Amino acid sequence: MPDPMKIRANVVGDSTEVRVLMSHEMETGQRRDAQGKVIPAWFIQNVVVAHNGKPVLNAQWGPAIAKNPFLSFKFKGGAKGDKIEITWVDNRGEKRTDETVIA
């Protein structure tokens, strides 16, 4: 099981700012190990952020996203106590969902 995401969601004015730090290797598939064998690509492909069950951001990622990916964005609305749920799926089909409440 991959490590949990660190999610922060704060009300800023009339919007909610969401910042996420995920724990993922994000291997590019370009690197070689000590034996000269290519290390297979392993990266997050899809990220969905939902606010009270309604998607507010939908992302597709390639292996060029940095290791332990960071993501920040804002959406209109959102109140203290609302639920933010984030799910990622990587190219091995592994997935992780974490949730937090807006502070």
Partner 1 sequence: MQNMRRKVLKSGGAITVYALLVAAGWLKPGDAAAQAWNKNAFEAKSLDEAMKAFGGSPPAQSKDIAFVSTPDIAENGAVVPIGIASSIPKTESIAILVEKNPNMLAASFEIPPGTEPAIGTRVKMGQSSNVYALVKADGKYYVASKEIKVTLGGCGG
Could you give the C-alpha distances from 24 to 7, 27, 34, in angstroms and in order?
14, 9, 22
42 or 75: CB nearest partner 1: 75
Six-digit token pair at 13? 């004015």
**Least CB distance from residue 61 to partner 1, whole Å?**
5
Helix (H, G, I), strand (E, B) or coil at 82: coil
Could you say whether residue 74 binds partner 1 (CB under 8 A)?
yes
* Chain centroid offset of residue 85 CA: 10
59 or 100: CB nearest partner 1: 59
Could you say whether residue 64 binds partner 1 (CB under 8 A)?
yes
Could you say whether residue 100 binds partner 1 (CB under 8 A)?
no
Q: Which of 9, 24, 61, 84 binds partner 1 (CB under 8 A)?
A: 61
**Whole-angstrom distance, CA of residue 42 vs CA of residue 59:** 17
Six-digit token pair at 83? 């639920």
**Nearest by Cα to 74 from 7, 6, 14:** 14
What would the x/- binding string for partner 1 be over residues 11 to 50, using CB under 8 A? ----x----------x-x-xx-------------xx-x--
Six-digit token pair at 12? 């800023």
Q: Which residues bind partner 1 (CB under 8 A)?
A: 15, 26, 28, 30-31, 45-46, 48, 55-67, 69-77, 87, 89
